[in-house]
Each structure stands twice: as structure tokens, then as C-alpha cells.
Amino acid sequence: MTGVGLHPPVEPYAVHRVPVGDGHVLHVEEVGRPDGVPVVFLHGGPGGGLVPAARRFFDPARYRAVLFDQRGAGRSTPFGGLTANTTWHLVADLETIRQRLGIAAWMVFGGSWGATLGLAYAQAHPERVTGLVLRGVLLLRRSERDWFYQGGLRHLQPEEWDRFVAPIPPAERDDVLAAYHRRLHGPDEAEARACARAWGRWEAVNSSLRPDPRLLAHLTADGQALPIARILSHYARHGGFLAEGQLLDGVDRIRHLPAVIVNGRYDLCCPPVSAYDLARRWPEAELRIVPDAGHSAAEPGIAREVLRATDRVADLAG
């Protein structure tokens, strides 16, 4: 993530290690001012972890921003841990963090998988949410998983699709996600690592209009590729541990909350149809489709709209 249009770099004023049970300990940091507008940042992935630029979405003179690495991600331990790692464990972790920090309610900011988690959390605890900013909406419906993992995106990325399915025998390509899941979590370590590199490349090349070489290197690097791919496949294979259409069906629980939805017109990971479907069920939310952007929050149009949205939701919530 670059610094295009974001606030200046800032360091946390507090860093915490928060045990949440099941052997997981979360890395949590606070940025800005202790008496500022509370907001929690939910990173993508799952398993993506924090990057320092994420702190720069929030004006440090105004916000008390809480950022954390989710179970198995980043500096949380164990890295890549899948035990007791589901959407609902992460929702419970948010409540643990909120209570640990003494925050009555906070704004929720989530991008990509973070938008999924943000919706799940808000619908479970609407009284603890003051508003939402959602970027690159992912609802983890079957149609979205088929688009990304079963060939829908092949029509736009034919050469990359061929690279992605190359580790999977043709006889198993009727369910590419299941075939990858078996190999990534299987006993053959060499095969799992090779599949993880192919998986990481597919994720990286579709994460922005122009592939970011740094993201590509990160998602295919030894020591990173396999743990991240395992978490991603774990959640994707289980549909985010959500019933089909659950996040749309639960919108009535949060329609009273101010919200802005931002999506790139050419988002390959999270096509704007999901943001549009969400906005149709949530007419009070403001939908902003960025005409010249893909998926990445670092793209100038996305960064600009997200910063505007963050301040607008804070104003409305206050």
C-alpha cells in the first residue's frame, strides 16, 4: 500500500498483546489521540495482516484508531494458526479488544475481507457500532467465490488463470477451490508450498489495476505464502462461515447506522455488483463507485473516497 493521498506516517502511541483464548494472542495498536473519535480498522485477507500505511487513513489529530492483526495474521500468534479461527471467533475478538480498551462504541472501517468481517460484527453488535466505512465489498456468496476461484475471472485474466490452475489436474478443476484446499492443507509439504505460491500470485495480480510487485513478492515469499494461503483457503472453502446471503439478510439490523460504501469500478477481487447489491438492501447507505480504480485501497481514487468517507461517517455518528 503506497501513501498516495493519505495522512502522514504515524507511529502507535500504544501497543498491546491481547490473549483471546484458544492459544491466540493478538497484536493490537492505537494511533492518534486517546480522546479521539474511536474507530477500528479491519484488514483484508483473511490472513493479510496490517501494513503501516493502514494507520494513515485516520487523521491523528481527530481519531483514536485501533488496528490489529486478526487470528493467525501478521504479528499475532501463532502465525497461520487455524485452530478456532472462524468469522465468529474474530467477531468475539473485536468485543474482547473493545472491552479491554474501554471503548463504549466505535466506527468500523473494513476493506475487502475486512468489509465482510465489519458487516458480521456490526450485525452481531449494532449497539457497539457508530457507523461503517466499507471498501471493496465482499459478501462471500457462492457467486463471488465462483467468480474468483471457479473461472469467472478467467475471461479478464486468461493467462493468469492458466497459471493459477496449473497445479491442479484437469480432472479436479470442476472444483478448483476444493482441490487447492486439499493440497494446501495436505501432507505433501513441497506440493503445498508450490500451490501456495500459485495461490499468492493469483491473489496479488488481481488486487489492483496494475499488479503491485511488492504485494506479489510478499504473497509468494517463503515463510509467508503457505500460512496466508492456508487461512485464505480455509475461509473461502467454508464460505466465510456464513449462510448464503447472510450479510444481506442481516442489513435491517444496521440500517439506522451511517455508512459509506466505496468500490472500484474495475475491482477484480470484489466486483461492484456486491457493493451495489448491499446498497440496494441498505438505501440509507451512501454508495461511491470509483470510475478509474480496481481493488487496492492504495489507488488514488479509492484512497480519496475512503478518506472522505471516514470523515463523513465520523461527522454523522457524532
Query: Is residue 7 annotated as part of the catalytic site, yes or no?
Result: no
Catalytic position from the list 76, 112, 274, 296 = 112
143 catalytic? Reply is no
> Which of the following is catalytic: 76, 267, 274, 296?
267
Catalytic annotation present for 174: no
DSSP characters for the chain?
A: ---TTPPPP---SEEEEEEEETTEEEEEEEEE-TTSEEEEEE-STTTT---GGGGGGS-TTTEEEEEEPPTTSTTSBSTT--TT-SHHHHHHHHHHHHHHTT-S-EEEEEETHHHHHHHHHHHH-GGGEEEEEEES-----HHHHHHHHSSGGGGT-HHHHHHHHTTS-GGGGGGHHHHHHHHHTSS-HHHHHHHHHHHHHHHHHTSSSS--HHHHHHHHSTTTHHHHHHHHHHHHHTGGG--TTHHHHTGGGTTTS-EEEEEETT-SSS-HHHHHHHHHH-TTSEEEEETT--S-TTSHHHHHHHHHHHHHHHHHH-
Active-site residue numbers? Answer: 112, 267, 295
